């Protein structure tokens, strides 16, 4: 059996069914009818995080509806597999995308094609009304029968029996409760294929070309590591390893951000960009054990300027980051997982 046929394997249903028999690709999105923007998903990426794109409730123009646009493709082989020969010219089936939101007990569908639905490519448009959803919305395409037929046991014989489905996409419209948006953007990319990123086997690179909005690049040349970073669970070895890797990256990233922000503090104790303000507010007071942010910012600026105090500042930063990130906890979790304590 080839890999290809394994991917399209039938399930244990008592009739022919293709679990991966529909090719579903989301391509663009639009907010409240605005001009569609490209999603630019990587190969295999099924999680679409719109939390940084959608206007927040605090902003003057809140969003009301997100529309996702994509393509649904039904291969010839899927139709040949799930319909008897007599039905293949005009398959009695409908194609739609099921829209589900667990948190709001919402289950709907966006019809893509009514009967007959044969092989070929279809435009898919899925509307997500804000008032009906929160958190994560799941989109999954289905091909189902639209008519009963006398069955020989090989093919699905009743209306609404499932025939094929495809990739499940998760669209995130809200961060989990209590979680704040990231201070900087992050993206995975192959360093070996990007001229602006460092050579060698670097794990990550903090890019300050746009000082207003630094960006963290993760090197996808290390797929074993990036796969772990994408894992979603909260228990088990993968989750433990992910947390340790994130701690490792966080330490390096925060160190750079603190020093960069410190260098940007002006004589009044102010900084220009939002991320710099976040960094100063988060760390400066703890570094100097004072209550006033402005006082701490002035001390930070003075220390980063003075070759004599700089080593002491680095020591303070190291101590503070060990408190802030708490790598010990995740390391112990990983060890206990490994040792099965």
Residues 257-276 that bind other proteins (CB under 8 A): none
Strand order in 37-38's β-sheet? 37-38, 18-31, 65-74, 120-129
Binding mask 79-98 for other proteins (x = CB under 8 A): ---------------x-x-x
Query: Of 81-89, 102-110, 189-197, 202-210, which segment contacts other proteins by CB under 8 A?
Result: 102-110
Q: Which of 77, 161, 172 is nearest to 119 (CA)?
A: 77
Using CB under 8 A as the binding rule, whether residue 16 contacts other proteins is answered as no
Token pair 């646009």 in the structure block, residue: 69
Burial (CB < 10 A; 0-12, 13-18, 19+), residue 124, is: buried
From the CB of 317, what's the least distance to other proteins, in Å? 30
CA atoms within a 13 Å half-sphere pointing along the CA-CB vector of 177 = 1
Helices 310-325 and 327-339, axial angle in degrees (round to 10): 50
Decide whether 142 or 288 has the Cβ nearer to other proteins.
Answer: 142
From the CB of 247, what's the least distance to other proteins, in Å? 24
From the CB of 57, what's the least distance to other proteins, in Å? 6
Using CB under 8 A as the binding rule, whether residue 37 contacts other proteins is answered as no
Decide whether 37 or 159 has the Cβ nearer to other proteins.
Answer: 159
Query: Of 7-15, 24-32, 186-194, 199-207, which segment contacts other proteins by CB under 8 A?
Result: 7-15
Q: Which of 144, 135, 138, 146 is nearest to 167 (CA)?
A: 138
Residues 50-69 that bind other proteins (CB under 8 A): 57
C-alpha 167/C-alpha 138 separation (Å) is 10
Using CB under 8 A as the binding rule, whether residue 178 contacts other proteins is answered as yes
Q: Which of 140, 164, 160, 157 is nearest to 21 (CA)?
A: 164
From the CB of 169, what's the least distance to other proteins, in Å? 15
Q: Are 143 and 22 in contact (CB under 8 A)?
A: yes
From the CB of 183, what's the least distance to other proteins, in Å? 21
From the CB of 20, what's the least distance to other proteins, in Å? 16
Query: Of 33-41, 66-74, 155-163, 184-192, which segment contacts other proteins by CB under 8 A?
Result: 155-163
Using CB under 8 A as the binding rule, whether residue 103 contacts other proteins is answered as yes
Q: Which residues pair with 127 in a beta bridge?
A: 67
Q: Which of 126, 132, 138, 146 is nearest to 166 (CA)?
A: 138
215 secondary structure, DSSP code: E
Decide whether 170 or 255 has the Cβ nearer to other proteins.
Answer: 170
Among residues 102, 212, 312, 319, the one that binds other proteins under rule CB under 8 A: 102
- Annotate 18-51 with DSSP letters as a single string: EEEEEEEEEEEEEETTPPPEE--PPTT--EEE-T
Decide whether 96 or 283 has the Cβ nearer to other proteins.
Answer: 96
Q: How do 18-31 and 37-38 pair as beta strands?
A: antiparallel
Residues 111-140 that bind other proteins (CB under 8 A): 130-135
Among residues 7, 159, 196, 328, the one that binds other proteins under rule CB under 8 A: 159
Residues 286-305 that bind other proteins (CB under 8 A): none
Q: How do 93-101 and 106-113 pair as beta strands?
A: antiparallel
Binding site for other proteins (CB under 8 A): 13-15, 57, 94, 96, 98, 100-109, 130-135, 142, 144, 156, 158-162, 177-178
């Amino acid at each position: 059996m080839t890999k290809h046929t394994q991917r399209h394997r039938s399930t244990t249903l008592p009739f022919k069914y293709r679990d991966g028999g529909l090719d579903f690709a989301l391509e663009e999105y639009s907010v409240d009818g605005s001009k569609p923007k490209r999603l630019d998903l990587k190969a295999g990426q099924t999680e679409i995080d719109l939390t940084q794109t959608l206007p927040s409730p605090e902003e003057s123009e809140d969003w009301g509806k997100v529309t996702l646009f994509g393509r649904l493709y039904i291969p010839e082989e899927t139709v040949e597999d799930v319909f008897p020969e007599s039905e293949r010219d005009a398959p009695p089936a409908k194609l739609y995308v099921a829209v589900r939101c667990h948190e709001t007990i919402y289950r709907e569908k966006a019809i893509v094609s009514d009967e007959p639905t044969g092989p070929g490519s279809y435009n898919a448009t899925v509307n997500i009304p804000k008032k009906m959803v929160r958190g994560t919305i799941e989109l999954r395409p289905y091909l189902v029968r639209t008519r009963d037929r006398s069955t020989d046991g090989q093919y699905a014989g009743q209306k609404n029996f499932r025939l094929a489905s495809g990739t499940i996409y998760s669209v995130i419209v809200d961060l989990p409760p209590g979680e704040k948006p990231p201070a900087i953007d992050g993206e995975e990319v192959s360093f070996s294929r990007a001229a602006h990123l460092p050579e060698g086997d670097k794990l990550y690179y903090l890019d300050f070309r746009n000082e207003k909005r630094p960006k963290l690049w993760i090197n996808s040349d290390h797929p074993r590591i990036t796969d772990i970073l994408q894992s979603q669970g909260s228990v088990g070895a993968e989750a433990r390893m992910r947390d340790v890797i994130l701690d490792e990256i966080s330490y390096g990233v925060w160190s750079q951000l603190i020093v960069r922000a410190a260098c940007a503090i002006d004589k009044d104790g102010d900084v220009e960009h939002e991320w710099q303000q976040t960094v100063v507010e988060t760390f400066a007071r703890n570094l100097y054990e004072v209550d006033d942010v402005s006082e701490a910012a002035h001390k930070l600026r003075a220390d980063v300027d003075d070759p004599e105090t700089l080593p002491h500042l680095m020591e303070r930063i190291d101590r503070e980051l060990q408190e802030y990130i708490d790598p010990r906890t995740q390391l112990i979790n990983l060890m206990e997982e490994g040792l099965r304590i």
